[in-house]
Chain A
Amino acid sequence: MSDNMRFSEALSAFGGDRKQLIRILQSAQSEFSYISEDTIRRISEKMNIPVSEIYGVVTFYRQFSLNKPGRHIIKVCSGTACHVGGSEKLSELIGDMLSISSGETTEDGMFTLDEAACLGCCSLAPVMMIDGKVYGRLTEKKVSDIINSFREGDSI
């Protein structure tokens, strides 16, 4: 399956099938954490799809990123329950702590701050996900403790 498959394997296995473009991009995204220009060129050559068309697909879907992200990816959930639970404030707080806004990466390449449409853990709202792990029932204090613990290098 694409999620455990390396990009080059996926490209040679599925490269002949136009329908598998998204699956191939997913394997690149999961291996490199972003889609580089070089990746797009390689796919274009192998699959015989114009670069512009691949770029169009990459930018259409939220899962794909064109920029190299930080080592830790923070996704603050912006679902409805989280919104009414104050997620915008938490996102701002993290932004202030890291001196970046949503969608940006810190200068030292440690964190990328992003938003997720909905993580589906609405009953624990507000929630955020860092490196695939969900943190729920957040408060301002909890958020700053979690970020600081990452800064100190020991994830809780």
Chain B
Amino acid sequence: MRILVGASSCGISAGADGVIGAIDAYLESVGRPERAERTGCIGMCFAEVLVEIINGEESRFYGWVTPEAVVSIIKGELEGSIDESLIVDAEKFLSGQKRIVLRNCGRIIPSDIDDCMNSGDSYKALQKIFLERISPEDVIREIEISGLRGRGGGGFPTFFKWRAVRNSEGSCKHIICNADEGDPGAFMDRSVLESDPHSVIEGMTIAGFAAGASCGHIYLRAEYPLAVMRMKEAVRQAEERGFLGENILGSDFSFSIEIKEGAGAFVCGEETALIASMEGRRGMPVLRPPYPAQKGFCSEPTCINNVETLANVPWIIYNGGDAFAKAGVGKSRGTKVFAVAGKVMTPGLVEIEMGTSIHDLVFGICGGLKDSRPLKAVQLGGPSGGCIPASLDHLSLDYETIKETGAIMGSGGMIVLDDSSCMVDLARYFLTFTQSESCGKCTFCRVGTRRMLEILEKAVCGKASSQDIERLEDLALSVKKSSLCGLGQSAPNPVLTSLKYFRSEYDSHISGSCPSLSCRELVRFFIDSSKCRKCGACFKKCPAGAIVRNDSGFAIDHSKCVKCASCFNSCRFGAVSRG
């Protein structure tokens, strides 16, 4: 019997350590030799803490496990009387997926290189290259056949970057893994780094071999302490086994990897800003050309690939570019990992074949919306992306189709929104983010996003006019056109898509109402005296003294109300309404 506990960041914050302690204590008390093993994240984040028990031929997932539930689960497994109450229907979540990037996640023990190689496929592709004497040019050709494109958002063909670096002059060339996952709402890179660190190391080493580079760097977010730890540990193990370092696997190819912790700046997702940051400077983008492939880190040829892109590489080399290209649609080949969160039943990490529809992802794999509320939109691509309305949920998830809607695929963050989410407020939220993350170099991005935010702040308070909204649209287009880097060029997307698909919500805000009842300034609370039982719960809860007694019971003094919704939440009879 093997007991695997999901112990990546989500699992640990949901209480994995306590569960592991309880499992080990129980097994010891009954004299069993097994112990809990710490695996990564299989993607069913909704059911954390997740425990998989492999018992002979059978395997079962238990979800929402607490230390108290451990005894009945393990005892049931040992005695053959399975505790069904916490079993998760993993089949429903996993069967619609095609897992290439996440192939090993939740299946291997990431801190143990032997297990990664035995239970997973770590370093099989690298060994294949040297065993079969595949040339760097053939590696690049295989990636070209696969159709792999950058998964960080750009969608730029990966082979092209590798070949450009290979063909550039330079004594020392660099491969940088961009692991500075900055999109709020995206967590697939964190999960891969924590759950399958060797796939990233192997991908980088293959990239280095193909591009003729000997120096690897992982630019990793400091906010991901567990990922930093796991990667450092994995690099050390790979060095010990000869997968990294001088003369890898007895060849004349040498490659090393160092880990640099990013200090927290969204703009550093942009290649030239990332390089500036790695050189110890402010992360400000510069004009291209010269491209990093010609003049990058330390003015030497540099290839920058994202975590998910690199995690695909070993699979492609081992299984062939054709096998990868078989999946997908049009120019978008292979799979894409989405971090699905928001108002959805089963949030988590989902890897689907490109071309799957939004509907199939949200309602099929992720079980639809919470509380059976209607789907309003999905937000794709974070602060650089946009909202796609429910009426377009038949659209296919691939680079080209998503771009046509005005959103972008981005790194794959998907936030599912129901009718309680206000689109104007969401546009304001993203602008708050991009405005503060603008590096300040380009005037339109620096000042334009500020002015756009001011208009949106007026709008959510019901103080914007229709001229303001016109100015907002005008500014959005100018910021898009007049910014140097991707941050400024895409910062207006959340505004432009919400104007395109949800214009009526802006109009409602102009006339002083928020249809989703989410903008605090525009919501008023009322007490329906016919439903009121005069229990006084709202009166006691109100922090502002805004509930007043009158002949018919209670009423709200709107001049004092701070709209905290305490009365609404405390009323057990539904007598407090919002409008």
Contacts and interface: CB of A to CB of B under 8 A. Distances in A.
A22 B429 contact: no
B164 to A, nearest CB: 24
Interface string A43-74: 00000000000001100111110000000000
A61 B264 contact: yes
B266 A117 contact: yes
A84 B426 contact: yes
A60 B282 contact: yes
Given A61-B263, A81-B342, A84-B343, A119 B223 contact: yes
Interface string B419-444: 00100001001100100000100000
A119 to B, nearest CB: 7
A5 B259 CA distance: 15
Interface residues of A, number: 42
A51 to B, nearest CB: 15
A85 B426 CA distance: 12
B187 A122 contact: yes
Interface string B217-241: 0000011110010001000000000
A23 interface: yes
A130 B9 CA distance: 14
B151 to A, nearest CB: 16
A119 B417 CA distance: 20
Given A22-B280, A57-B280, A122 B12 contact: no
Contacts of A133: 13
Nearest to A127: B13
A120 B45 CA distance: 11
Given A64-B263, A84-B417, A117 B184 contact: yes
A155 interface: no
B14 interface: yes
A125 interface: yes
B564 to A, nearest CB: 8
Nearest to A30: B222
A134 B415 CA distance: 21
Contact of A80 (B184, B232, B259, B439): B184
Which of B187, B280, B433 has the largest number of chain A CB atoms within 10 A? B280
A119 B298 CA distance: 31
Which of A20, A23, A121 has the largest number of chain B CB atoms within 10 A? A121
B348 A123 contact: yes
Interface in B253-275: 259-261, 263-266
Contact of A136 (B13, B343, B413): B13
A62 B415 CA distance: 24
A118 interface: yes
Given A63-B222, A117-B266, A134-B13, A123 B280 contact: no
Nearest to B263: A61
Contact of A78 (B184, B224, B282): B184
Interface in A117-156: 117-125, 127, 132-137
A80 B413 contact: yes
Contacts of A79: 184-185
A103 to B, nearest CB: 12
A60 B265 CA distance: 7
B183 interface: yes
Contacts of B45: 121-124
Q: Size range of the interface on B?
A: 35 or more
Given A84-B415, A127-B13, A122 B341 contact: yes
Given A84-B417, A118-B185, A125 B341 contact: yes
Given A122-B339, A124-B13, A19 B279 contact: yes
Contact of B347 (A2, A19, A83, A123): A123
Interface in B369-392: 379, 382
B13 A121 contact: yes
B255 to A, nearest CB: 19
Contacts of A21: 280-281
B14 A124 contact: yes
B185 A81 contact: yes
Nearest to A117: B184
A42 to B, nearest CB: 16
A62 B282 contact: no
Which of A56, A118, A123, A132 has the largest number of chain B CB atoms within 10 A? A123
Contact of B433 (A2, A117, A127): A117
Nearest to A81: B341
B283 interface: yes
Contacts of A136: 10, 13-14
Contacts of B430: 80
A116 B223 contact: yes
Contacts of A18: 279-280
A117 B224 CA distance: 12
A84 to B, nearest CB: 5
Contacts of A22: 263, 277, 280
B153 interface: no
Contacts of B339: 122
Which of A56, A119, A127 has the largest number of chain B CB atoms within 10 A? A119
Contacts of B174: none
Contacts of A116: 223
Which of A56, A81, A120 has the largest number of chain B CB atoms within 10 A? A120
B181 interface: yes
Nearest to B415: A80
9 contacts: A3-B261, A19-B279, A26-B261, A56-B282, A57-B281, A61-B265, A84-B421, A118-B182, A124-B13
Interface of B: 9-10, 12-14, 45-46, 48, 181-187, 190, 222-225, 228, 232, 259-261, 263-266, 277-283, 298, 339, 341-343, 347-348, 379, 382, 413, 415, 417, 421, 426, 429-430, 433, 439
Given A120-B223, A136-B13, 8 more contacts: A57-B281, A61-B264, A61-B277, A62-B264, A80-B413, A80-B430, A118-B183, A125-B342
Interface of A: 1-3, 18-23, 25-26, 56-57, 60-64, 78-81, 83-85, 116-125, 127, 132-137
